[in-house]
Amino acid sequence: MIEQIVSLPMPMIYLLVIGLVLRHMKWARWLAGTSVFLLILCAFPVTAYLLYLPLHHPRPSAAELEKFQPDCILLPTAGALKVSDQVWIPTVNSYWRLAKTVELQQAFHIPIIISGGALKGAPTSEAALLAQQNYLPLDPAILDESATNTVDSAIQFARIMKENNLSRPLVVTDSHHMLRMRASLAAQGISSLGYNTGLGGQPPLEWDQLIPTRNGYFGVNSVLREYVALTYYIYQGYFSLRDLTRSQPF
């Protein structure tokens, strides 16, 4: 409910209403005009596309993987969905991350570390839930069942890696989440290589992205949430601008 209230386009509509109610004031007319402009701009999917570009994290080439020589794979979970009181399933993002992790493990034959704590009301942790997906040929993984966010996962990844004498992790997550995950690891003194799942990756620019739709608001909301998260992490001191810069793929 709260997310619906604060997600686009609702804040712009609130500002537009305020501007129209107080339109006899100069600043209110400016507010109304700006709100209309932003309502139209954010309805175009190309706006989300352009905002996403700085977050895009391309996959490393075969040469980069060979040079890095990863010795473990880090898999942060991406939530779970409640089916019934005792039945929970991983989200689509978690499934995609797991599928790519299994593919990479089969190629490199290195251990997997899965991080994800328990959700409120869930009978098990996200990490354990993901590791239980037996239809995938996943070798036994090292689980962290305490992390509740990206920075917690980074701290637990660092601890587990140190305990197991590992130092060159390959991080598997969505493209838009990769920068925050790798910067959080950099703050723990870990240099990593990112391998995005292909979900949420950079799509080609298509002509229909120039047509305004409600999907435009969905895309802008998704990108803005990640920018807000990055800003919050820097403000809280979870990582520095230097960590963020070092985690860029270029």
Range 77-99 average pLDDT: 91
- Identify whether the C-beta of residue 133 lies closer than 8 Å to the C-beta of residue 124: no
Burial class (CB in 10 A: 0-12, 13-18, 19+), 234: middle
Q: What is the pTM of this model?
A: 0.89
Does residue 2 carry a pLDDT above 90? no
Least confident segment among 2-11, 42-51, 152-161: 2-11
- Identify whether the C-beta of residue 172 lies closer than 8 Å to the C-beta of residue 103: no
Cis status of the peptide bond prior to 169, with omega within 30 of 0: no
Indicate the fold that domain 55-198 takes in CATH.
Rossmann fold (3.40.50)
Does residue 120 carry a pLDDT above 90? no
Which tokens sit at 128?
Answer: 């354990």
Short-list 79, 48, 53, CA closest to 224: 48
In Å, what is the CA distance from 147 to each residue of 63, 68, 143? 33, 27, 10
What span, in angstroms and rounded, lies between the C-alpha atoms of 11 and 64? 44
For residue range 30-71, what is the model confidence (pLDDT) as tens digits?
Answer: 999 999 999 999 999 999 999 998 898 889 999 999 999 999
Extents of the domains making up the chain: 2-43, 55-198
